[in-house]
Amino acid sequence: MEDRITSANQAVETIFGFCLQTLIGQPVSVLMNENVAESHQSWIQYYLDTGESSIIGQTSELEGRCLDGSLFPIELSVSEVSTAGVRSFTAIIRDITKRKAAEQEVHRNAERLREIFEFCPMGVSIFSVKDLRRLFMYDRNFEMSGYRNAASGAEMLITDTFVGGGFPRN
């Protein structure tokens, strides 16, 4: 039994670059990265035999394959549907290329910030403008202030940072 695409919406054409008319009837594996495509059929057969699956009823991040063969990150949710005794599977696929790029940018920025803090000779704290609560305190602040542990649960306010409870004035 090879899984075939029986229907798809316009978003599939937009995301993957396949013409809907040519996509219908194709093996599901045309939308998959080759490594996943090789295992796909055995996963389906295992699910049909045992009812156990690591993908059915779950949301997974995988790679999709465009018509031109290029790979891109997708989020995949697969459900089983049974109509008139016929079992089929429905997939919801989201292109998460932009989300992955944003996550990478956040990671790069966090690494840059960590490097800045690492080489900064001063203590660095970040406070909420709204209520002046300390949101972050870098390790050097612990060395300079004598605070033992910012994660101790005690709320730390900006007034706890400066002698006399206020910003130093020049």
Residues 78 and 19 in one domain: yes
Query: Taking Cα atoms as reference points, which of 40, 39, 35 lies closest to residue 5?
Result: 40
Question: How many other C-beta atoms are found inside a 10 Å radius of the C-beta of residue 142?
Answer: 14
Flag whether 159 is in a domain: yes
CATH of residue 34's domain is 3.30.450.20
At CA 79, angle to CA 77 and CA 82, rounded to 5? 165
Q: Contact at 8 Å (CB) between 40 and 29?
A: yes
Residues 87 and 160 in one domain: no
Residues 80 and 127 in one domain: no
Q: Beta 71-83 vs 125-127: how paired, if at all?
A: unpaired
How does pLDDT run across 139-162, given as a tens digit for each residue? 776 666 665 555 554 566 656 665
Domain closes at, from 43, 66, 99: 99
Flag whether 105 is in a domain: no
Residue 165 has pLDDT above 60, yes or no: no
Flag whether 5 is in a domain: no
Specify the higher pLDDT residue, 166 or 101: 101
Output the DSSP codes for 144-165.
HH----GGGS---BGGGTSGGG
pTM over 0.75: no
Residues 26 and 56 in one domain: yes
Flag whether 30 is in a domain: yes
Instruction: State the total domains in the chain.
Output: 2
Residue 82 has pLDDT above 70, yes or no: yes
How does pLDDT run across 17-39, given as a tens digit for each residue? 999 999 999 988 899 988 888 78
How does pLDDT run across 86-139, given as a tens digit for each residue? 888 889 999 999 999 999 999 999 999 888 888 877 777 777 888 877 777 777
Question: Residue 44 is part of which domain span?
Answer: 10-99
pLDDT of residue 119: 83
